[in-house]
Amino acid sequence: MRNLIITLTIFLSLQFSSKAQGITSPLRLNIEIDILQPVFGGYGGTLGLEKGQFGWGLMAFSSRLSNSSRNFIMKGADDFNVHNWGVELYGDFFFKKTHKGFYIGGLVSLDGYRMKQEKELKGSILGLYLVPRVGYRWVPVPKKVKWLYIQPSFAVPIKVWDDASFFNEDIKLSRAIILPMLTIGMRLNLDEKCAKKME
């Protein structure tokens, strides 16, 4: 509760400060594609909104896990082929109002694991994670293509709940792992007049 109050206080102070200076932050839509997921035979993307120094939205992914990835995420599942999907709500704070450079954030992630043996579906496992992350947004061509960016980050999924024991008592999901993330994205100004003032 204390952290929530501190966060709200910071958010409100930033809003009042910008209004006092006559600055209104534009609302932007951002769309991202996960670059790493296709390497592992999957796909993923992000749809979100950005305003002020904050960003929030929805992420989703789907991927067939390799044996090494499966053993990294869970133990005791050597006899299974695993397809992993996830739906995530995220919130980020950028240190610059331009949304360039470093940012910190967090996700709430619901992950599903479809467990197969010899192409036959045996069941599914669900896991719920809290995921702090830190990242960097790089705009490679800021003058000509300022709407395009590349965003590497590191996330730490921390498991808070799962139902693996109902499927198989020998399977255990890892409590915490470190995951690299890499996306390419674009952001569109939903308020052109306000965006020009910011520039």
**79: number of Cβ within 10 Å:** 12
Q: Where is pLDDT greater, at 132 or 194? A: 132
Helix %, strand %, coil % of the chain (to 5): 20, 55, 25
CA angle in degrees (0–180, nearest 5) for 58-153-95: 85
What is the C-alpha radius of gyration for the chain, rounded to an integer number of angstroms? 19
Q: Are 83 and 113 in contact (CB under 8 A)?
A: yes
pLDDT tens column, 66-117? 999 999 999 999 999 999 999 999 999 999 999 999 999 999 999 999 999 9
Residue among 113, 95, 105 nearest 181 (CA):
105
Q: Can you read off the two tokens belonging to residue 94?
A: 């950028």
d(CA 55, CA 17): 18
pLDDT tens column, 137-169? 999 998 889 899 999 999 999 999 999 999 999
Q: How confident is residue 3, by pLDDT bands cut at 50, 70 and 90?
A: very low
* Pairing state between β 81-94 and 54-64: antiparallel
Q: What percent of the chain has pLDDT over 90?
A: 76
d(CA 193, CA 25): 10
Q: How confident is residue 5, by pLDDT bands cut at 50, 70 and 90?
A: very low
* Residue type for position 24: T
User: What class has domain 26-198?
Assistant: mainly beta
Average pLDDT over the chain reads: 87
pLDDT tens column, 9-49? 444 444 444 444 444 678 999 999 999 988 878 999 999 99
Asked whether the whole model's pTM tops 0.75, one would answer yes
Predicted confidence at residue 22, as pLDDT, reads 43
Domain boundaries, the chain: 26-198
